[in-house]
Amino acid sequence: MFNFLKQIDNKSYRPVFGALDIFKFIGPGLLVTVGFIDPGNWASNLAAGSNYGYSLLWMVTLSTIMLIMLQHNVAHLGIASGLCLSEAASIYLKPVYSRFVLLSAMLASVSTSLAEILGGSIALNMLFDIPVRAGALLVTAFVFIMLFTNSYKVIEKWIIAFVSIIGLSFLYELSLVQIDWNHAVAGWVTPSFPENSMLIIMSVLGAVVMPHNLFLHSEVIQSRQWNLTDDKTIRRQLKYEFLDTLISMLIGWAINSAMILLAAATFFESKTPVTELEQATHLLAPLLGKNASVVFAVALLFSGISSTITSGMAGGTIFAGMYKEPYDIKDNHSRLGVLLSLLLATGVIFLISNPFQGLIISQMLLSIQLPFTIFTQVHLTSSEKVMGKYKNTTFSKILLYLLGVIVTVLNIFLFISFFK
């Protein structure tokens, strides 16, 4: 039992830093987290908090639980098959189905990029009085430079820094307000459907569980080219990937919740619905001081830039997958996907008159596309042909399909609400 004491001074011993293994797998989850603390989320969460107080916090909780399950499942696909979701759809689905799903996902990517670029340009307008359309061009140009000149690993480091800044910004904002924690805790766990809230509920869902993030997560996992043959190594990768996903998504849940809490404690209490992001900044200054409005705008700028980077990457991933190729910014298909996602979104910005409403509608469109991506993903990850022995268990398969049904039902309620 105490034999190890005899070798306690063994000079030939080489330690194995098992506790540090997880850091090899940290990154993909945080890259995805940026996608659901993006400007579209800001618009949806501020609208939810300013109009309905704490009552829609449950939607952030539900969406995050759904997100953890879906993102882990799609990362599972990348580890077990070595393919991203877009590639797997092109290879294993009939062309008519794969083209429909991937083309609609590409449109979702454009819708996402619209929200991200718009958020960054609104932040530039808040900070430097740069017109929104000119700001959109600046954000797009900066993101092109980032994507076309940096590797995944470099971009991951930038993203982690941006997420840290955003998180610290909201910690500062919350320290300035009085939160009704009893109502907040109840709001996190008690579903409610206030009158005329369905559009905002769907926009919150679309802002958290985003189609492009499912494609992106599987691609980032796949790009690491982890061991695909050794069973022990694959199982260890799955374990650490889940921890990465869980931690990253909980960070996103906290930041999204902070947005609603801030809006509920300020705008809802003062009975001031927020209809524009710029309005939120102007209203925060007299309520919490000028520093609060500046910090809010800076966080929005970092959110817009970082999420535009990931939405552009997702566009490249989806488009390259149509040609059964992985994302590679040096490849023409990936480049064209990035260009289509960002340039089309920038073009739409020049056509819309109400940026804030554009953000809300873009998130709603994402929620409409989401069921197609979810059902495709679950079909692929439940297939032994695609996943081998790592396919979904019967329980996981039923649970994931149930999530797809929930999203579909919420979409039906949304359409019904339009005719009331």
Decide if pLDDT at 328 tops 60. yes
Q: How far, CA to CA in Å, does 164 sit from each of 155, 175, 299?
A: 14, 17, 10
Reported pTM: 0.80
pLDDT higher than 50, residue 228:
yes
* pLDDT recorded at residue 288: 63
**What pLDDT score was predicted for residue 232?**
67
Interval 15-45: pLDDT, tens: 333 333 443 445 566 677 776 677 777 777 8
Is the predicted pLDDT of residue 147 greater than 70, yes or no? Answer: yes
- pLDDT of 231 over the 70 cut: no
Is the model's pLDDT at 143 over the cut of 60? Answer: yes
Mean pLDDT score of the chain: 80
Give domain limits for the chain.
40-418
The answer, yes or no, to whether residue 382 has pLDDT greater than 70, is yes
- pLDDT tens readout for residues 120-129: 998 898 889 8
More confident residue, 29 or 46: 46
Type of residue numbered 276: E
Question: Residue 163: pLDDT above 60?
Answer: yes
Residue 201: is its pLDDT beyond 50?
Answer: yes
Q: Distance between CA 341 and CA 362 in Å, rounded?
A: 14
Report DSSP letters for 138-187, one per residue.
Answer: HHHHHHHHHHHH--HHHHHHHHHHHHHHHHHHHHHHHTTS---HHHHHHH
Q: Give the pLDDT band of residue 8 (cuts 50, 70, 90).
A: very low
User: Which 3 state secondary structure label does DSSP give 383?
Assistant: coil
What local confidence, expressed as pLDDT, does residue 359 receive? 64
CB-CB neighbours of 10 under 10 Å? 9
Span 207-219, average pLDDT: 80
Supply the pLDDT for residue 403: 87
Which of 215-229, 262-276, 379-393 has the largest mean confidence? 379-393
Comparing CA positions, the residue from 367, 284, 301 lying closest to residue 59 is 367
**Architecture, CATH, for domain 40-418:** Up-down Bundle (1.20)
Residues with Cβ < 8 Å from 416, sequence gap 6 or more? Answer: none
Per residue in 57-107, pLDDT (tens digit) is: 998 898 888 888 888 898 888 888 888 899 999 999 999 999 999 999 998
Q: 288 versus 343: which is more confidently predicted?
A: 343
Per-residue pLDDT, averaged over 226-237, amounts to 64
pLDDT exceeds cutoff 50 at 5: no
